[in-house]
């Protein structure tokens, strides 16, 4: 991996953070801050919910099927319309022909967001993350997830590994309590897990992993997602697309601050 990438704990005066901010700055034209919770915006995933309902259909389904044992906090960094550049980056940073430009862009965005907003996670959950995990790939179980490779040791947190139930494929969009089997390390101290995910479409994999982490003994679970997928052709999403057409991405704002 390119050597310019600093750890999250590098001093704020480190010139590499200046480079990272420049990488994020050039993305501001196509990134879009998630909207605050609203009568038609789901407070969990920031997708569209029906007015009069507390959550969107998918998030309500996860809540019901898990008996409430879900992530304490979900923080999407940006919307990711299917026809946009952010969506393209999220597709091409992994796979057989990985784009280094997409990797640099996404890693810069993730590191800067975590540097500026990890305190927001601690404020909401009551504790700073002690361990980190990516949602295991259900498409190819060989080797670590590309996001794990991308982040590496930069967060200075120990990684949690997890098995995957092969009964559920990558096209499964439902919550399953037995989808993942994370191995929490033995520790006398509480485990506060940070899930990193590249794309949230239905949230089934993130919430299935959050359930498994809590069932395994994690005290709190927070999820940070690079892109909240939006399908512009889905009629209910058109209202959301209209709302995010013009604003330029604000690197200093997260959804908690928006709320």
Could you report the per-residue pLDDT of 28-37, keeping only the tens digit for each? 999 999 999 9
Q: For 196, what's the count of Cα atoms within 13 Å in the CB-facing half-sphere?
A: 26
The answer to whether 182 touches 213, Cβ cutoff 8 Å, is: yes
| pLDDT at residue number 9 | 63
CA angle 155, 226, 175 (to 5 degrees): 105
Calpha distance 179→138 (Å, rounded): 10
| pLDDT at residue number 12 | 61
Length of the chain counted residue by residue? 259
- The encoded tokens of residue 99 equal 């784009």
Calpha distance 55→145 (Å, rounded): 30
Architecture (CATH level 2) of domain 33-258: 3-Layer(aba) Sandwich (3.40)
Shortest CA distance to 70 belongs to which of 125, 138, 122?
125
What residues does 194 pair with on adjacent strands? 132, 222
Q: Taking the model in full, what pTM does it have?
A: 0.94
Calpha distance 189→108 (Å, rounded): 31
- Give every residue of the chain whose pLDDT is below 70, as ranges: 1-13, 139-142
Shortest CA distance to 165 belongs to which of 193, 183, 138, 139?
138
| pLDDT at residue number 168 | 92
Calpha distance 136→138 (Å, rounded): 6
How many CB atoms are closer than 10 A to CB 186? 7
């Amino acid at each position: 991996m390119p050597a310019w990438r600093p750890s999250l704990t590098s001093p704020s005066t480190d010139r590499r953070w200046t480079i990272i901010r420049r990488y994020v700055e050039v993305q501001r034209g196509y990134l879009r801050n998630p909207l605050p919770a609203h009568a038609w915006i789901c407070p969990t995933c920031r997708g569209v919910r029906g007015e009069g309902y507390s959550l969107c259909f998918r998030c309500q389904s996860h809540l019901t099927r898990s008996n409430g044992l879900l992530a304490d906090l979900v923080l999407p960094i940006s919307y990711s319309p299917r026809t946009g550049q952010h969506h393209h980056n999220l597709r091409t940073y992994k796979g057989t022909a990985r784009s280094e430009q997409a990797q640099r862009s996404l890693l810069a965005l993730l590191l800067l967001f975590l540097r500026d907003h990890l305190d927001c996670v601690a404020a909401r959950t009551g504790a700073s993350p002690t361990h980190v995990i990516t949602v295991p790939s259900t498409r190819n179980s060989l080797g670590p997830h590309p996001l794990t490779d991308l982040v590496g040791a930069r967060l200075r947190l120990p990684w949690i590994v997890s098995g995957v139930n092969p009964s559920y494929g990558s096209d499964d969009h439902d919550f399953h309590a037995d989808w993942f089997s994370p191995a929490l390390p033995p520790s006398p101290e509480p485990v506060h897990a940070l899930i990193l995910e590249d794309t949230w479409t239905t949230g089934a994999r993130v919430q299935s992993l959050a359930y498994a982490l809590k069932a395994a003994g994690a005290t709190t679970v927070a999820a940070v997602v690079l892109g909240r997928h939006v399908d512009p052709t889905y009629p209910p999403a058109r209202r959301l697309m209209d709302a995010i057409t013009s604003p330029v991405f604000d690197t200093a704002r997260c959804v908690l601050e928006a709320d």
